[in-house]
A and B are shown apart, each in its own frame.
Chain A
């Protein structure tokens, strides 16, 4: 079920009202059933995959907590193999199989294994990582195993964050399911406002930008380099609003019921460095890789080459996490390279800053840094958005070889109205984000006079209805 669908418009109030009407003891059951319905609205049979991982991890968690030494490790490995195995079969098998086949063809070997004709279950990477997080935390002794099977199942399946995160940790979620949450009008109101902002980001900003981006990226040879740069900038905001919009709706829906989900984005395009960007973008995934891959590999407290290796491993894996496609791997690799290069060039960059005298103007320095970081990230988005490596190369070539300051985006079928609207919504987003630098817009609104508050709500609602794109576009991150 998509958040931006009429089904959800009915589903959400019904579940929420029932949640508050029912006694605390059976609320978990309501949420679990609702989550099953929510997930089964996509492809019903894939709930079995979830079922298998839930059962395996539930028992593995209990057993691991009772074991010591090697036996404990064996059950951890069994659980991880089950989770990663599912992920491999459904998401990566065909990718690796095809690549091995290509290699075999090149070497004139006979490779007999055929690909699987299966559809990727929605949100597989998200709930698998969440399950793995639980098992690892129990193994490390940082989390008591959850004895209540229903609550554990709910931890994996909780509908607001089931298909596109945030990837939660057991320490943040399990206790919240046990705690009784009474109806709090202010909290409900805040949750609804967060949801509304999420819908705004998705329906008005992301889906309008998608119209331009899809037209240009669907026909990249029709336009010049400048138009491709504009489309890539638009994609940067599209993917941000699409994904952070989803997160806001998820967090808002959950807040209404009294369950707080972690923040997944902190105004990432205002980052001054690439490493800062990754601390502010898809935080739940970045921290997952940091905690469970980067630090166990040695993090940055080791020899420099190992530090670089660890960084590259994390980002290549992060790329692969997004999709079984070389473009994602390159995207991840490129971001890893940025970080390694940043470490290597730290002294030189410092010297350049001093030499140019820009360090005497901290605000200018900041703007330059944000601009550079944003452009580097946008460059990597080309690989993320292009349908193939060859297409990404074509786009990059055109950006550098066919650049003129003339916007010919109309040649890809984009009207000037659409272009203007896209620029307008981006400016609006940036204005809101700048406003939110030191304060929270929701808290601020609550202190305003009732009339001005409602003018804002009315305007937002009218804006959504008039400028929203209502053809229920799926969220980009659902495919991961």
Chain B
């Protein structure tokens, strides 16, 4: 029994000391550095909470009063560019250069859906991070996607159980078994409450980046879409063709993405939200984007947001095709262009 008591005492000491090191002495920039650390996030979705906490800390530490939260997909995230070459980071640079007192925080993530965007907003609200100013970017296909969430089922269930149940009823979300739910709760609890577990991915990532830079690991160079030989072929493959389908979108009120767009608009009532439709590479996808069905869908998306009196910007045909790195993602100059354009459009509001 003595050994058991000793073990418990030492375990408590371990937990307290690691909690101090990994929670309070852990640099916030390892968690959030101009955007979410996707390398860590993809293995541990709960790290979104740490990113939100980190943003909250920055806001409070720097006493930031005027800020925008950028949510969205991989275009908003800045794929394939580094963190300092994304729309939000360029907006921060412009803001600084213009002497304005406004900051932009990037919570966009690759492969997200409207259910995910809504859940991120709820999470921000939960942590008392203002969602008074939000910029939300999305891609053409997302509005017709069959799944409401890619990452945040668990959070949706926790933060808006009614919406989650509605999606289960509609068959859009498959309810997990009791055991899977218990497991998810255990993971969630551990990540949320045990500093070393929640932050372990960031520590590994930091060690990885230090090692790679010491060993001069070369990063793949950013290249324009036209230099990628297989890209055109890849886009015609069945698994990619649906991205730019010309089939008529279901934009009626019973569509699952529309449900979450409505929820977002409802949540942002009396607040500022700008919806941005990402630009499409019309050179690469000249056949797809020339189809009447595609054009009709774009027009229908515009009408949808206009009918809801939401601020909406359509970047289709607005970005030079030379600024694309693939079908939708941009090179640094492309993201800089969007940032400048956004700044010009909303300068007065900002």
Contacts and interface: CB of A to CB of B under 8 A. Distances in A.
A412 to B, nearest CB: 14
B204 A467 contact: yes
A417 B215 contact: yes
Given A6-B186, A466-B203, A466-B204, A417 B3 contact: no
A186 B3 contact: yes
B217 A416 contact: yes
A6 B207 CA distance: 26
Interface residues of A, number: 21
B71 to A, nearest CB: 27
Contacts of B207: 417, 466
A408 to B, nearest CB: 12
Interface string B27-69: 0000000000000000100000000000000000000000000
A465 B200 contact: yes
A433 interface: no
Nearest to A416: B215
Interface in A423-461: 450, 454, 457-458, 461
Q: Which of A189, A415, A416, A471 has the most CB of B within 10 A?
A: A416
Contacts of B196: 462, 465
Interface string A456-478: 01100110011100010000000
Contacts of B10: 454, 457
A454 B6 CA distance: 10
Interface string B181-211: 0010011000000001100100110011001
B2 interface: yes
A416 B212 contact: yes
A6 B188 CA distance: 13
B1 interface: yes
Main secondary structure of the interface of B (DSSP, over half): helix
Interface string A359-396: 00000000000000000000000000000000000000
Contact of A189 (B3, B187, B197, B204): B3
B18 interface: yes
A417 B211 contact: yes
Nearest to A454: B10
Contacts, number: 45
A48 interface: no
Interface residues of B, number: 24
A118 interface: no
A442 to B, nearest CB: 14
Given A416-B217, A462-B196, A465-B196, A185 B211 contact: no
A347 B211 CA distance: 50
Contacts of A454: 10, 14
Given A6-B186, A185-B3, A189-B3, A465 B215 contact: no
Nearest to A470: B43
Given A185-B4, A461-B14, A417 B217 contact: yes
B346 to A, nearest CB: 40
A420 interface: yes
B211 A420 contact: yes
Contact of A466 (B7, B187, B200, B212): B200
Nearest to A186: B3
Interface string B266-283: 000000000000000000
Contact of A465 (B186, B197, B217): B197
A457 B13 CA distance: 12
B215 A185 contact: no
Contacts of A462: 18, 196
A55 B42 CA distance: 48
A421 B187 CA distance: 26
A262 B129 CA distance: 58
Contacts of A471: 43
20 contacts: A6-B183, A6-B186, A186-B3, A189-B7, A410-B217, A415-B208, A415-B212, A415-B217, A416-B217, A417-B207, A417-B212, A417-B215, A417-B217, A420-B211, A450-B6, A457-B10, A462-B18, A465-B196, A465-B197, A466-B200
Given A421-B211, A454-B10, A466-B203, 4 more contacts: A6-B187, A417-B215, A458-B14, A462-B18
Across chains A and B, which 8 residue pairs bring their CB atoms closest together, nearest first?
Answer: A416-B215, A185-B3, A417-B211, A417-B208, A416-B217, A465-B200, A454-B10, A417-B212
